Structure 1
């Protein structure tokens, strides 16, 4: 912790330039936009963050007074900029009904049946169960089939379900996806196991990790799992993004996973070896399992997004929208860590909201609004599973087919000079053009993902728009620091290991607000250039996400 703080502070001392030092001129960027870019205010971002991460907001958990205070502050800033309400009923608000479920552990169980006789197991030590919002009581006993990573990716020539029938059975699979997959496809396939299991007819799932993967130990996962899951509820009163066909879903310890293989035709160690060689595999474990899950409704939460618009200036294109998003929520108040129980979420994600507000000010400062309209959305429930953005992307307050692009900002990491960026999503669509133009203008390099194992592309609100076929960007800082003795990737990973999702993510961190301001410049320029283009963004021809979700919006 001390080393982390000291090294970041040193990086600030060697910052190479002020935020307003524009390195290159670009014919792609009109003079008015160039001038507005130079007016960015690092101190304004600091002030916004200080308000949103203040202890008085108690961590901005959805449904609390603290979240409402944060939303009121953002709406006040929108009004001061002259933005118009774009929520429901001519307000700045879009209601997002949320509901939380928990497993009733007393009335739930997982048991092995190696010889037809149940062997009971210990909840929280050997296994945990996922709530099933669609099934108040799920009770299944079925044979278990091992399906490797549980992945079907025909575009990559990989399918763990080849030659195996899992209808009416429970599938057991490894967390993650083959390491040979491209980073973003690896992230997608890692998170779509339940959906794939249902598509193949399974009625239950059991997940476990490779022995060397210590991140998913049951003892570590159990406390958060006991908080339950939250989903948004549709007008029909039913939870969305759930899988009613699954009557039981468990995660199990390494030792229990080995027991599952006791009667298998392939040993546990051999199967793990095949997985590490990225080879598809599937075979029956010759073991049945009994999973019983009682799922209780814990609470309904009156969630909401805040939405504002800067109307476009082009008579036709003003009916199309660039959506800029940052999540307002954080984790609220929890178990004390180092004497502090308020999870302020300064970097996650008061920073993104603050930068969005400064970006909105840049747009509002233009002598003439961009041709397309710019929609600003502060979403709820990101920490609960991208809920506010998913609700908005499914139920936008403007016509869905008129949303042409999304830019999301979430903990962009500004603890050192911003010399390079990782524009997650740019490689999938024509938006790479605008990213390159903006980065060139600001003298910022573009780098590949330095931490593909973190599956960043799946972990913030932009992906809610990707799933609706809308090209999206998620720009984060790269690893260059300007100091050969300071590794930006190591700094990032150290922050994630020591500060992320703890009460120590507060304003007592050595933020580089010049870097934060450069993020605002990037958001503004990329959005502005996209808004000015005659053509709406398109997915690249043959792109995985464009093909899966793009609904015909594919480039030639």
Structure 2
């Protein structure tokens, strides 16, 4: 452990650091507006270390946990591990006398022996197409449904954009481009250029098609605008799929939700006498829809069962305002195992998201070692079924244990930085809230600086659990080490390792590796610890920026 004096330039001005080393309580104003209660903050900050992170990551990503799929033995092992860890640290159960919040799920598995027929062509499951249903039915048939191209499938009045304008899609199958129009036309005055809006997410596209009354919705996969390859679609949309239990059995959803590869879509358009690239160009330029003139048929044989998975929640009560909470989130789940595969069958999920789950445990330990209890409560919410569409956090946000009006902020940790220390910190969804002021203060203490995320077109702000809080109006922060390595040695390591990490996303090769440099996770965990510490030690209520699409409800 470094001495307190070695951190003076990094962490605090001399007078505060000296007080911290002496474990005295000092009230001060940092960054002009943020009161901070200083106790043994620096020692605790330094106690966040790579050895502890390594221990938890290796265990959570071990074969014993079987890929941590919801409702399996892997879930039970994970929950037992979390309950044991937080109990030992003195955390109170977050849900009455329980550390668990039940989440009622519907598990649906589409039989893989399916094809989709479009015109004279048949496309095979996982190779040219994917299809499933959210409806609680054993069999869903789409027969001779007219195909209609609806551009990006967007209905956005604030951008004066409606791809469904003047169109009746009842009984029809809509074909939709991935991402939103701003991605391919960043110089236009619509949407947010390369930065994806929620209109670019696949979840929105199925939701809007359902609202429009379509029978089915098929998204055309393209790797660059989607930001992930076809294998991610094939692996993520096959096997058991989960949704939240609904009163109407999801009868208001389109009957079939599917994907086509780019090559399959090009063939479909060509068979209809259309050029896919030319039709796409029209959809980029303005709201657009066009009948393709072909019909689609597919049968989805669906097995389904209702089950209960669990969010984990634990709280360290505040000393003055215990009803006000800062909530840290991570998701404990991954993809489980695929017994139909030869060789390795376990999707261990070391990077995604044993790293974030491990960080919550290490950070919780740091909070538990503070000698002065902060004013507000610190809560750790480690959720289920993120990989199935943010279901655990969605359920929590719709059934909050802590009232949302008493939730000061959410700080999320997902797939953390295993590429070594960085000079920069990437803010996902930069510019959305005042939480970035707190983040900037913590980053400056580390000698780093803030930057916008490297690929805002990927829409990462809408792809992890903080989004569930944001949709409900709670300011939510997602930030991680950027792309500027701290030195040349780290740059070389980063170049080698990033190829593996990227290639193993949602693959069985996402395993813990002994050569991982976890100092980047340590750096980010310390940073986010300080952001939360400042918030739970103050009376401030950070706000959304006026330009954000989110505001407190």
TM-score interval (norm. to shorter): 0.7 to 0.9
Cα pair 1:218 1:252 within 8 Å, conserved: no
Q: Helix, strand or coil for the counterpart of 1:417?
A: coil
1:263, 1:287 within 8 Å by CA — same for their partners in 2? no
Per-residue deviation, 1:195: 1.6
- Structure 2 gaps of 5+ residues are 14-28, 31-35, 187-191
What is the Cα deviation at residue 69 of structure 1? 1.9
Are positions 1:144 and 2:108 aligned together? no
- Matched residue of 2:431: which SS? helix
Pairing 1:480–2:484 present: yes
SS at match of 2:201: helix
Please state how far the C-alpha of 1:229 moved relative to its aligned partner. 1.8
**Structure-2 residue corresponding to 1:380:** 384
1:544 aligned to 536, 541, 549, which one?
A: 549
Tell me the SS of whatever aligns to 1:121: strand
Matches within 5 A, 1:308-457: 308-314=314-320, 317-334=321-338, 340-425=344-429, 427-457=431-461
CA drift at 1:519: 1.9
* Distance in 1 (alpha carbons) for counterparts of 2:63 and 2:230: 32
After TM superposition, the score normalised by the length of structure 2 is: 0.83
Following superposition, the deviation at residue 343 of structure 1 comes to: 2.8
1:133 aligned residue: 135
Q: Distance in 1 between matches of 2:245 and 2:75?
A: 20
Question: Match of 2:124, SS?
Answer: coil
SS at 2:546 equivalent: coil
CA distance in 2, matches of 1:520, 1:253: 38
Bigger mean CA deviation after superposition, 429-438 or 453-462? 453-462
Q: How far apart, in 2, do the equivalents of 1:394 and 1:424 lie?
A: 23
Aligned partners of 1:184, 1:533: CA distance in 2, in Å?
33
Match of 2:10 among 6, 10, 23: 23
Q: Is the 8 A contact 2:149 2:176 kept in 1?
A: yes
Q: In structure 2, what is the equivalent of residue 460 of structure 1?
A: 464
* Number of the residue aligned with 1:297: 303
Where in structure 2 are the equivalents of 1:254-269 lying within 5 Å?
254-261=262-269, 267-269=275-277
- Answer yes or no: is the 8 Å Cα contact 1:188–1:458 preserved in 2: no
Deviation readout 1:1-53 (Å, 9 max, x if unpaired): xxxxxxxxxxxxxxxxx996862526524432344323323322222223222
> What's the offset of the Cα at 1:163?
4.6
C-alpha distance in 2 between matches for 1:19 and 1:458 = 39
CA distance in 2, matches of 1:409, 1:479: 17
Please give the per-residue CA displacement for 1:322-347, whole angstroms capped at 9, x wherever unaligned.
11111112222336999543332222
> What is the rounded CA distance, in whole Å, between the counterparts of 1:226 and 1:538 in structure 2?
40
Q: Does 1:36 align with 2:44?
A: yes
1:468 to partner: Cα distance: 1.9
- TM-score normalized with structure 1 length: 0.83
How far did residue 384 of structure 1 move?
2.3
| Per-residue deviation, residues 227-249 of structure 1 (Å, max 9, x unmatched) | 14211225x4x56xx57241333
> Paired residue for 1:13?
none
For 1:91 and 1:147, the matched residues in 2 are separated by 47
Structure 2 residue aligned with 1:306: 312
- Whole-angstrom distance in 2 between the partners of 1:479 and 1:19: 26
Give distance in 2, aligned partners of 1:41 and 1:211.
37
Q: CA deviation at 1:259?
A: 4.9
Task: Tell me how far apart the structure 2 counterparts of residues 76 and 211 of structure 1 sit (CA, whole Å).
Answer: 41
C-alpha offsets along residues 349-397 of structure 1, whole Å, 9 cap, x if unaligned? 2221121111112212222222221111121222222222222222222
Name the residue aligned to 1:554. Answer: none
Residue in 2 that maps onto 1:283: 289
Match of 2:106 in 1: 99
Distance 1:173 1:293 in 2: 20
- Are residues 1:272 and 2:280 paired? yes
Q: Secondary structure at the match of 1:523?
A: helix
Partner in structure 2 of residue 12 of structure 1: none
Structure 1 range deviating more: 171-180 or 150-159: 150-159
Rounded to whole Å, the distance in 2 between the matches of 1:467 and 1:96 is 19
Structure 1 CA distance for aligned equivalents of residues 435 and 451 of structure 2: 16
8 A Cα contact 1:422 1:476, kept in partner:
yes
Q: CA deviation at 1:290?
A: 3.8
Structure 1 residue aligned with 2:212: 200
Whether 2:165 is the aligned partner of 1:169: answer no
1:307 Cα deviation from its structure 2 partner: 1.0
Change (3 A) 1:543 1:411: same
Please tell me whether the aligned partners of residues 48 and 354 of structure 1 are also in contact (alpha carbons under 8 angstroms): yes
Q: Distance in 2 between matches of 1:496 and 1:334?
A: 20
Q: Which moved more, 1:91-100 or 1:260-269?
A: 260-269
Q: Identify the match of residue 64 of structure 2 among 53, 56, 59.
A: 56
Counterpart in 1 of 2:19? none
- Residues 142-194 of structure 1, C-alpha deviations (whole Å, 9 max, x = no match): 43322211123343444333454435533221122221234554355233111
Equivalent pair of 2:213/2:254 in contact (CA under 8 Å): no
Structure 1, unaligned stretches of length 5 or more?
A: 1-17, 114-118, 552-556
Whole-Å separation in 2 of the counterparts to 1:169 and 1:341: 38
Q: 1:500 aligns with which of 502, 505, 508?
A: 505
Identify the residue that residue 189 of structure 1 maps to in structure 2: 200
Q: Give the 3-state SS of the residue equivalent to 2:315 in structure 1.
A: strand
Distance across 1 between alignment mates of 2:346 and 2:471: 33
Question: Which secondary structure state, in structure 1, belongs to the residue aligned with residue 77 of structure 2?
Answer: helix
Q: CA deviation at 1:273?
A: 3.1
The number of residue pairs the alignment matches comes to 516
Distance 1:519-1:259 versus aligned 2 partners, 3 A rule: closer
Shift of 1:414: 2.6
User: CA offset at residue 216 of structure 1?
Assistant: 7.6
Conserved? CA contact 1:101–1:296, under 8 Å: yes
